[in-house]
Structure 1
Amino acid sequence: MSKTEWQLLRPGDWFTVALGAALVVLFAWFAWNTDAATHVRVYQSGKLFAELDLASDRTLQVPGPLGATTVEVARGRARIAADPSPRQYCVKAGWLTETGQTAICLPNRTSIELTGSKARAYDSLSY
């Protein structure tokens, strides 16, 4: 915009621009402000197999149709360390650290989901 075009903006226009920018910042803060993950839920065939505290380090073997899936919890994060599935997508997901993150091994029907102190707004797991 040239200098003369900027001069066409009235005070109400500047207010609208400022309000829009403030709303963008506010919505971005709400979108990225999540509570800390405190537990990991381990599902087998769509049913809750175990719920582990992220504060304690441990390894869990989850039996599945293809073999055992290894779930590892260490230093406030969780991952699927090993799985007999052919493509290893759930293993490649790596360490999960944020509430709501999931790793799903479909061929072996095993999944993990991180949960926090707040109730989740939606169901993120579907088979």
Structure 2
Amino acid sequence: MASSPILRFRPADALVILCILLLAGASLVPFLRNAAVEPATVEVWQNGVLTRQIPAMSQVTFDVSGDYTNAITVDYGKVAVTHSDCPTQDCVHTGWISYTGQTIVCLPNGVEVRLTGGDAEPEIDGVSR
């Protein structure tokens, strides 16, 4: 009978595990950098036209009317479409957004809600650098 080799933990195994953990952590850096920017402005676009700009740190609810009506709520740095009479309700199901660069879209009404940062935003995001 042939003897089976004994499997032991070796120093090279620790080095491989450390490299894998470092690569996994480094892959998260671009996402964390973009998420750290607090939104400063809520922009509401309808059919490609900027219709409203609101400070993100305010508390207000307003309606955007078109073919359908969207109720948009801004609540101290987060935004949601809280009610819509459009058929798909995708905008309502998106829920609250709170990070710069996030958007809510209602295609049937042609409405886009964007969170933009206070500083000039780069033309490319952290992932494509």
TM range (shorter): 0.7 to 0.9
Query: Structure 1 counterpart of 2:75, which letter?
Result: A
Counterpart in 2 of 1:38? 40
CA RMSD, Structure 1 to Structure 2 (Å) = 2.4
Unaligned runs of 5+ in 2: none
Does the aligned pair in 2 maintain the 1:37–1:99 contact within 8 Å? yes
**Given the superposition, is the C-alpha separation of residues 32 and 3 from structure 1 closer, same or farther in structure 2, using an over 3 Å criterion?**
farther
Does the aligned pair in 2 maintain the 1:54–1:74 contact within 8 Å? yes
Does the aligned pair in 1 maintain the 2:68–2:108 contact within 8 Å? no
Does the aligned pair in 1 maintain the 2:44–2:53 contact within 8 Å? yes
**Given the superposition, is the C-alpha separation of residues 3 and 54 from structure 1 closer, same or farther in structure 2, using an over 3 Å criterion?**
farther
Query: Structure 2 counterpart of 1:106, which letter?
Result: L
Identical aligned pairs, as a percentage? 26
Query: Structure 2 counterpart of 1:77, which letter?
Result: K
Secondary structure at the aligned position of 1:39 is classed as strand
When normalised by structure 2's length, the TM-score is 0.73
- Superposed, which structure 2 residues align to 1:104-119 within 5 Å? 104-118=105-119, 119=121
- Superposed, which structure 2 residues align to 1:20-99 within 5 Å? 20-33=20-33, 34=35, 35-64=37-66, 66-99=67-100
Does the aligned pair in 2 maintain the 1:57–1:75 contact within 8 Å? yes
Secondary structure at the aligned position of 2:26 is classed as helix
